[in-house]
Chains A and B, each alone.
Chain A
Amino acid sequence: MSGRMSQQLVALCSVAIGSIYAAGYFITAVPTNAAVLSAPVPTTGSTAGSAPVAPAQSSGQAQSSSARTIQTAASSSQGKAKTPAKAKYRDGTFYGTGSSVYGTVAVALAVKQGRIASVQITQCTTHYPQSVIDPVLPQMVLSRQSWRVDIVSGATASTIDFAQAVYSALQQAKL
């Protein structure tokens, strides 16, 4: 009894992971439209869409983004056809704030030609000085074209506040 139950569930895990892996992460992801808030799709989509516009990104992050674009193109013909043409954000400057018990981060985010062109931290009242997250996080937003940034070690709350601020600015910019 005991052996059978756990063996069956372990086998099921292994089958599930195998078949998900085989199906690929991108094929099913892309057809859901850009409105999926917390999906990785916006990152991929906007990179795919904007790569031709600004091919000369310089940072190391840009490399990994374009590598991902290639992968998307290779593994998902359906999604590829849908996403690139449409810009996801309207041009203009948008403002957002993010708060936690440690303080508030506010940003001004500029969109040009449907693409995040700049992110400026306009307020930072967290315990740590602004230099802990600036310019590292704004640069990451630019290179990834997404609010999904890496956590700055030791400054988790500031990072989350910042991501929240960028997210809410992007929400207003959304088409």
Chain B
Amino acid sequence: MSHPEQHVEMAVHSRKQSRLCMGTVVSIKVVSTLPNQRIDQALEKSFEAIQFVESMCTRFSENSPLRRLATRIGVPVEVPTILYEAIRFALEVAHWTDGAFDPTVGHVMEQHGFHHHYLTGDRVRPLTDTPASVSYRDVLLDEDKRTVLLQKPLLLDLGAVAKGLAVDLAAKELQQFDGFAINAGGDAYLHGKNEYGLNWNVGITHPVHKQQTIATLEITDMAVCTSGSYERISPSTANTHHLVDGRTGVSPTELVSCTVLAPYAMLADALSTAAFVLGKDRGMHQLAEMNLEGLFVTSTLEVHHTTQIKEFIHERAN
């Protein structure tokens, strides 16, 4: 290993690993001429990064820093860097989308029955304080001391940011390779070329016929995130899924699937959630304002997309 000039380059080959993380199956595929050992080491680090984000930002473990933060209302709390950055980004997106995207919906999610650890079914203890009406404006950050202050009793939900962040950190561990594809249940990042030397194809799940795709995008060096209301349905509240309007606490129904392309998965994830909440017209407007590409599917299965995304659409059903 210490003599790179003696290093025998292998033919281009790929390796794939899948693990259970963040309530979903995360798959990573690496394409490289480097030896398998090198690839496996990097894969291990990628999964560690993902599990680390999960441990810090999960709402579903009693002792996660995110949950402990919710038990300390009205005082500035020092939090781990990763949690601070995730919260800061979520608040920034909340600001830009005027609260359509809002990370303070944690208690609303709990009320809708989203409070079970994905693997165990263990229910986390609900927070005792009755939440007043809250919004992202009730969360204050101190940039110098890097503290978070919750002004009212509230529980943050970083679901729409943390998964993207985990994908971005995993991607950073894999930069050395010719190509890689990370897929974390709706959040994907693609780099370089696949094992055939081509751009990666990313299928967007058909909201009704889930074994099929409604469109396939051909992309590289980009994140693609899809927010779909068909994924997680509230076990307790009618007509409710895991995407909630921060301003009303209600699940919007105009769109059933919302895909956004962006340079970072964290951005694509937050924006696909925001666009989902905003609906077709305002969501499209938001993406146009941000120079991002997206593809929406309405509840009547009409497909709408930004004009530039045509260049990426490889194949489209019907």
Contacts and interface: CB of A to CB of B under 8 A. Distances in A.
Contacts of B88: 12, 16
A30 B63 CA distance: 12
A6 B291 contact: yes
B172 A17 contact: yes
Nearest to B82: A20
A150 B292 CA distance: 34
Contact of A36 (B55, B82, B96): B55
B119 A38 contact: yes
A13 B266 contact: yes
Given A37-B120, A163-B20, 5 more contacts: A10-B262, A16-B266, A21-B169, A25-B52, A148-B51
B19 A40 contact: no
A16 B92 CA distance: 12
A16 B86 contact: yes
A159 interface: yes
A17 B55 contact: no
Describe A's contact surface by its main secondary structure: helix
Interface in B79-108: 80-82, 85-86, 88-89, 92-93, 96
B291 A9 contact: no
Contact of B267 (A2, A13, A171): A13
Contacts of A3: 291
22 contacts: A2-B291, A3-B291, A12-B89, A13-B267, A16-B85, A17-B165, A17-B266, A20-B81, A29-B52, A29-B55, A32-B65, A36-B61, A36-B63, A37-B61, A38-B55, A38-B119, A39-B64, A40-B51, A40-B55, A67-B41, A67-B44, A148-B19
Contacts of A147: 119
Interface string A17-59: 1011101011011001101111111000000000000000000
B155 interface: no
Nearest to A40: B51
Contacts, number: 141
A57 to B, nearest CB: 16
B267 A40 contact: no
Interface of A: 1-3, 5-6, 8-10, 12-17, 19-21, 23, 25-26, 28-29, 32-33, 35-41, 64, 67-68, 147-151, 153, 156, 159-160, 163-164, 167-168, 171
A28 B60 contact: no
A10 B40 CA distance: 30
B55 A33 contact: no
B34 to A, nearest CB: 16
B119 A163 contact: yes
Nearest to A17: B168
B157 interface: no
